[in-house]
Structure 1
Amino acid sequence: MDYQISPKSQNFNIPNPHNFLIAENGDLFLDIVQQTLGELINYHQEYGKTATILMAEPDPVIFLATFWAGIMANCSLILANPNWSIGEWEQVFNRIGQTDLQFGKIPKIANIDHVNNPVNMRRSPFPDGSILIPTGGTSGTIKFAVHTWETLTASAIGFQQYFDQSQINSFCILPLFHVSGLMQFVRSLITGGQLVIWSGKNLENRDYPQLDISDFFISLVPTQLHRLLHHPQTANWLSKFTTVLLGGSPPWLELLNQARRHQIRLSPTYGMTETASGVVTLKPDDFLAGNNSSGRVLPHAKVMIVDPQGQPVKSPEIGLIKIQANSLSWGHDTQINQPRLTQLITDDLGYFDECGYLTLVGRQGDKIITGGENVFPVEVEAAILATGMVADVCVVGIGDRHWGEVVTAVYVPHDPPVSIQILANSLGDRLSRYKHPKNWIAVDTLPRNDRGKINRQLVIQQIQN
């Protein structure tokens, strides 16, 4: 790559993180940072290079301390999920090659030599200061967005400006190796706020910390919010946050209405790993007033709606979402020898209204064409979930000689289940007739990842086998 990355201390005034972390063993954070930083400095002195580090640390305090030490030592950091399967780890090692140092829960895989051995090894080809964050979206194929400390802080500063907060206090229950969890750490650290690390399972069991959360942000995915709202006590607790950020996958209308009934200060967001989290966000006051969009564009970004040729379309025409942002990643791990990304035309479809609010329609790649009509699964899924008759649902298109594709609802029934006829009739006039599923298939579970995203290709394979 043709860029140089400077240590963050040369560009940012970072507060001392000694007391900002509220977590089990959080008081050990700074000690672990100093110990790890010493190891990384010794590595540099012994081998004459900064280390490329693979991180799959399940303990959140150790993870964050190692990450922060790596940033200060200008290392290249590769973030990983400690719970990946062997097959997923094989994907990862085939993509990133060998690394200098490893921290955390990393399996030993036959025929892949990835043991710490800094001498005469083929290094991962990532420049000093790179931060590789895993993403896979709905495809199920693991890849990494290549960020830097500068792109992450650009996102955090844009967030701070948009919400007009001097300090960002974050209550984190999302995985730290994903951008959604990691950015909560970055926002709180660089603004001098506090960061609480808590377990999502604890919240579902109505185990809350003894803490004033009135000036805290919490980030959730729709499936988490759906589960938490089942308990009135938890819904009341959520309503005390200054902002409940909601992202990762599209929410459905009934979920938004349920949150509004509980007076939860919800803030739906639109962003992705490649943009270092949200670039469009709805403010809570707008949400409580009845706005169901994804909100307005944050200060560090520019978002346009374009046609398939990349040309702008007039509002409120639907088109592909194009993003330019200071937080945009340099590219993916397989693109490191190509010029840095300056813009990103996504697969997402949406439109801006006359007030500058963005509404998402669906993904171009998920579109079902049935009898010549376009159907977007997100809309159909939202209508089915709004009936309250299923626990979960995924809508896909299955090839058909007559229709081209048929709309198929793969769903997890409630216990006790209702009949398919009742389910089909419940849609009524919620959808145009051509959008109604022709097939209904009940399953025990749907393949969602830890951010709530569903793998549609896996669903299709599941019902065709």
Structure 2
Amino acid sequence: MEYSLEDFTNYIENHLLCENSDRLPQLTEEIYSQITQPRTQIPNILIAEREPTKFLAYFMATCAAGYPIFLCNPDWGEQEWQQVFDLVQPDIILANDDLDKLPITSKQVSITNYQLPITQQIMIPTGGSSGKIKFAIHTWETLIASVIGFRQYFQLQQVNSYCILPLYHVSGLMQFIRSFTSGGKLVIQNFKQLEYQGKYQVNPVEFFISLVPTQLQRLLQARVSDRLAQFQTVLLGGAPAWNELLVEARSKNIPLALTYGMTETASQIATLKPEDFLQGKDNCGKILPHAKVEICSTQNQIGNIKIQSKSLALGYYPNVFEIPELILDDLGYFDSQGYLNIIGRSSEKIITGGENIYPIEIETAIRDTKMVNDICIVGIPDRHWGQAVTAIYVPKSTTSITTLQTTLKNKLSKFKIPKHWVSLTILPRNTQGKVNRQHLQQLALNILQEKSL
């Protein structure tokens, strides 16, 4: 699958609305001319740009040239950048002017390209929160397979997207890919502009918008729920949404579509349609037509999730998958209606006194008390119980641990009630609203050890 500069220019002029979009065709042509100078080998191109117009110019010029692309998060730290340079050894870097964390040697990199037997590779980053960055290898074919499944599931000819997520992340990039390949409209806007009721006057009923739970919470707090309710569909993913948030969204008649997917699958492979959400369902919905999901268990009980999909990444750079399937750490099951339910990750499971505990159950119960602003449950080593259930939370001003524990006695079994409580002013989350549980686990352990001294 190949696209020319003319394909991209026609799309920009007829379908794209974002700041400085009028400059985009010329900027794309300039970048294309610069990177297609005579070369002895195909270059690896690294894109690290947060500003949408520049990102799209870099991305479209590189796609038109047919070069391998590595998308990067401009906010990575020096250690993460060093990982990337050691792995990729880029020939060309298209980056923010103010990006000062690139390794000094980046301007003098010695290149030995590892050429994959795949055309137009689009490498999308994943795994940064675990401390080890990987690049999922995608192509236009895998990305378009995701678009086709999306369009079939929602019965659409064209997909109009209202994008407020970063384009270097799969959840932002796929909004561009859906609109571009289907001939739909694309509006790109800063989240704060939407939060304060926006600058682009478009009819929301024609658009899909994608949010992560923390963004949805902020928009509800900003009292723009009436505007959100007007969108054709509000896709919600990136991290588990808590029950209190979903209840409020449902009460405001917001057409949420809870999604399940990842970088490796080019966004969602399961989605709960808005009509199901508004009728009270809170699961991940049904599997999209381009994917197949199995539960690795006997009698279809709770088990690890296995995915086969035409949108599945071909591997992690520079290695290609030997088997075109992915077995995940995620645990889930299908209910009697065929809806996918996710209950957590096997790696997050806490074993205390021989009992298996999944953090999401306890986090949901604590959020439902409405006594905390944020919560994360981890297990820390305990010589008597193996692991001790520990709550790391952001309390509301009037919250006391005693009151919380008393309230939970009517909601949870005794062994599920946290033994330790660690209060913070804020829980660190990434741009997708996810917490790094390993980091919080170590933080809680350090705080508890200091208290015991």
TM tier relative to shorter chain: over 0.9
Q: Is the 8 A contact 1:14 1:189 kept in 2?
A: no
Q: Is the 8 A contact 2:15 2:183 kept in 1?
A: yes
Task: Report which of the two has the higher share of helix.
Answer: 2
Residue of 12, 20, 38 corresponding to 2:15: 20
Q: Please state how far the C-alpha of 1:283 moved relative to its aligned partner.
A: 0.6
Q: How does 1:101-250 map to 2 (within 5 A)?
A: 101-105=93-97, 106-107=99-100, 109=102, 112-115=104-107, 121-127=110-116, 129-136=120-127, 138-207=129-198, 209-232=200-223, 234-250=224-240
Unpaired segments ≥5 residues, structure 2: 447-453
Which range is displaced more, 425-434 or 290-299? 425-434
What CA distance in whole angstroms lies between the structure 2 residues aligned with 1:108 and 1:178?
19
Amino acid at match of 1:210: Q
How many residues matched?
A: 441
**Higher relative CO (CA 8 A, sep ≥ 6), structure 1 or 2?**
1
Amino acid at match of 2:41: K
Residue of 393, 399, 403 corresponding to 2:381: 399
Residue of 309, 328, 344 corresponding to 1:325: 309
Counterpart position of 1:90: 82
Q: Is the 8 A contact 1:248 1:451 kept in 2?
A: yes
Q: Please state how far the C-alpha of 1:116 moved relative to its aligned partner.
A: 6.5
What CA distance in whole angstroms lies between the structure 2 residues aligned with 1:265 and 1:345?
31
Cα displacement string for residues 173-199 of structure 1 (whole angstroms, at most 9, x for unaligned residues): 111111000000000111111111111
Q: CA RMSD in A?
A: 2.1
Q: Is the 8 A contact 1:18 1:29 kept in 2?
A: no
Q: Is the 8 A contact 2:128 2:134 kept in 1?
A: no
Using a 3 Å threshold, how does the CA distance of structure 1 residues 13 and 225 change in structure 2: closer, same or farther? Answer: closer
Q: Please state how far the C-alpha of 1:358 moved relative to its aligned partner.
A: 0.3
Which range is displaced more, 62-71 or 357-366? 62-71
What CA distance in whole angstroms lies between the structure 2 residues aligned with 1:246 and 1:351?
20
Using a 3 Å threshold, how does the CA distance of structure 1 residues 146 and 16 change in structure 2: closer, same or farther? Answer: same
Counterpart position of 1:310: none
Q: Is the 8 A contact 1:40 1:50 kept in 2?
A: no
Q: Please state how far the C-alpha of 1:84 moved relative to its aligned partner.
A: 1.4
Residue of 401, 404, 415 corresponding to 1:423: 404
Counterpart position of 1:51: 43
Amino acid at match of 2:442: Q
Unpaired segments ≥5 residues, structure 1: 1-5, 308-312
Counterpart position of 2:299: 314
Using a 3 Å threshold, how does the CA distance of structure 1 residues 429 and 99 change in structure 2: closer, same or farther? Answer: farther
Q: Is the 8 A contact 1:322 1:346 kept in 2?
A: yes
- SS where residue 35 of structure 2 aligns? helix
Amino acid at match of 2:235: L
Using a 3 Å threshold, how does the CA distance of structure 1 residues 90 and 137 change in structure 2: closer, same or farther? Answer: closer
Q: Please state how far the C-alpha of 1:158 moved relative to its aligned partner.
A: 1.0
Using a 3 Å threshold, how does the CA distance of structure 1 residues 236 and 109 change in structure 2: closer, same or farther? Answer: closer
Residue of 251, 265, 280 corresponding to 2:255: 265
Q: Is the 8 A contact 1:179 1:273 kept in 2?
A: yes
What CA distance in whole angstroms lies between the structure 1 residues aligned with 2:79 and 2:196?
32
Counterpart position of 2:342: 360
Q: Is the 8 A contact 1:322 1:343 kept in 2?
A: yes
- SS where residue 85 of structure 2 aligns? helix
Q: Please state how far the C-alpha of 1:340 moved relative to its aligned partner.
A: 4.8
Q: Is the 8 A contact 1:139 1:456 kept in 2?
A: no
Counterpart position of 1:444: 425
Q: Please state how far the C-alpha of 1:140 moved relative to its aligned partner.
A: 3.4
Q: Is the 8 A contact 2:314 2:320 kept in 1?
A: no
What CA distance in whole angstroms lies between the structure 2 residues aligned with 1:376 and 1:218?
30
Counterpart position of 2:449: none
Counterpart position of 1:409: 391
Which range is displaced more, 385-394 or 359-368? 385-394
TM-score, length-scaled by structure 1: 0.90
Q: How does 1:333-372 map to 2 (within 5 A)?
A: 333=317, 336-372=318-354
Q: Is the 8 A contact 1:100 1:116 kept in 2?
A: no
Which range is displaced more, 434-443 or 96-105? 96-105
What CA distance in whole angstroms lies between the structure 2 residues aligned with 1:204 and 1:87?
33
- SS where residue 203 of structure 1 aligns? helix
- SS where residue 14 of structure 2 aligns? coil
Amino acid at match of 1:75: Y
TM-score, length-scaled by structure 2: 0.92
Using a 3 Å threshold, how does the CA distance of structure 1 residues 88 and 239 change in structure 2: closer, same or farther? Answer: same
What CA distance in whole angstroms lies between the structure 1 residues aligned with 2:323 and 2:51?
33
Amino acid at match of 2:375: V
